[in-house]
């Protein structure tokens, strides 16, 4: 089945007339069915959809990679536009995700989770389907979550915290999820922010799912705070999957993107807003 992945929203723009915004949103089209993977912070989604000649009529589902605002801010608008759409997410998607001020950690953490409550979205017509384990959510689309996490392979991002009692502790981001798209040939791994650790996700795909070849890895890798050694490990791991294409977005970071581009050469692309991948 022909599968098209269109980057609707990203930090960077790859086509004139689009808006860049810190966040991520993708449209997945398979045959006559279409889905959203995340919804950006919300400003860029309606503008970029129109500029790209797309709409949410007949949208079958919205799938969330996690509950941060830069992936869920467009939910309210998307639900209103798609009239009673299903939302697939981990049940912890409405966790009290908080963040410390990077420049002044002594400041009180601020909320960075979903801007809307479950009740508010349901009153607009959303129907939630919470998934806390890996399963096929739509034909040929598997939701990967609750994967094994090796601590040494988690992203270095200490500013993300969550309230526990009268203090704040590191946010485990238990709602983090990725997608595996079945296509003719080897599957495509579609990331959101890879808070579970992109190496942990690749390990899961290989050792738990028995997949040894990927056509592409697309989306946010959360390598923006990683050192060269970690980036090199990621590149080595991708080579084990004989990846045909690596298309990075959002939280990958400039340094990692440059190193990936130098290594993968014509197999590398920036997954910026407006980029279309067809399988």
Give the pLDDT of residue 30: 96
Give the pLDDT of residue 105: 75
Contact between residue 85 and residue 125 where contact means Cβ atoms under 8 Å apart: yes
Give the pLDDT of residue 229: 85
63-119 pLDDT tens trace: 999 999 999 999 999 999 998 899 999 999 999 999 998 888 778 899 999 999 999
Give the pLDDT of residue 246: 98
Contacts of 1 (CB under 8 A, 6+ apart): 30, 31, 140, 183, 184
52-76 pLDDT tens trace: 999 999 999 999 999 999 999 999 9
Please report where in the chains the tokens 């130098």 appear, as a residue.
262
Which residues of the chain register pLDDT less than 50?
none
Give the pLDDT of residue 107: 86
Residues facing 7 on adjacent strands = 26
Identify the CA nearest to 221 among candidates 243, 244, 189: 189
* Backbone φ, ψ for residue 49 (5° rounding): -55, -50
Give the pLDDT of residue 104: 82
Give the pLDDT of residue 26: 98
Interstrand relation of 33-37 and 61-63 (parallel, antiparallel or unpaired): parallel
Contact between residue 45 and residue 59 where contact means Cβ atoms under 8 Å apart: no
Give the pLDDT of residue 7: 98
d(CA 82, CA 134): 26
Element (H, E) at 135: strand 135-138
Domains identified in the chain and CATH numbers: 3-272 (3.60.15.10)
**What region, left, alpha or beta, does residue 60 occupy, with left being phi > 0 and alpha being psi -120 to 50 degrees?**
alpha
Give the pLDDT of residue 106: 79
């Amino acid at each position: 089945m022909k599968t098209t992945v269109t980057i609707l929203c990203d930090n960077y723009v790859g086509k004139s007339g689009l808006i860049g915004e810190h966040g991520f949103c993708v449209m997945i089209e398979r045959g006559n069915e279409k889905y959203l993977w995340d919804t950006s912070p919300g400003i860029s989604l309606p503008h970029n959809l129109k500029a790209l000649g797309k709409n949410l009529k007949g949208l079958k589902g919205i799938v969330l990679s996690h509950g941060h605002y830069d992936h869920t801010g467009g939910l309210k608008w998307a639900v209103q536009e798609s009239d009673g759409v299903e939302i697939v997410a981990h049940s912890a998607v409405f966790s009290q995700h908080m963040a410390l001020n990077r420049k002044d950690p002594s400041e009180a953490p601020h909320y960075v989770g979903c801007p809307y409550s479950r009740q508010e979205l349901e009153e607009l017509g959303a129907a939630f389907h919470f998934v806390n384990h890996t399963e096929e959510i739509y034909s040929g689309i598997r939701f990967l979550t609750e994967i094994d996490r090796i601590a040494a392979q988690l992203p270095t991002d200490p500013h993300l915290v969550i309230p526990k009692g009268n203090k704040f502790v590191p946010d485990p981001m238990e709602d983090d999820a990725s997608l595996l798209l079945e296509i003719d040939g080897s599957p495509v791994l579609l990331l959101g922010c890879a808070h579970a650790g992109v190496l942990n996700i690749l390990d899961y795909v290989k050792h738990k799912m028995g997949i040894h070849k990927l056509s592409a890895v697309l989306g946010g890798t959360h390598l923006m705070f990683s050192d060269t050694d970690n980036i090199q490990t990621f590149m080595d791991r991708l080579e084990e999957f004989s990846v045909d294409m690596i298309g990075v977005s959002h939280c990958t970071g400039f340094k990692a993107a440059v190193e990936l581009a130098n290594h993968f050469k014509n197999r590398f692309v920036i997954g910026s807003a407006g980029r279309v991948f067809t399988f």
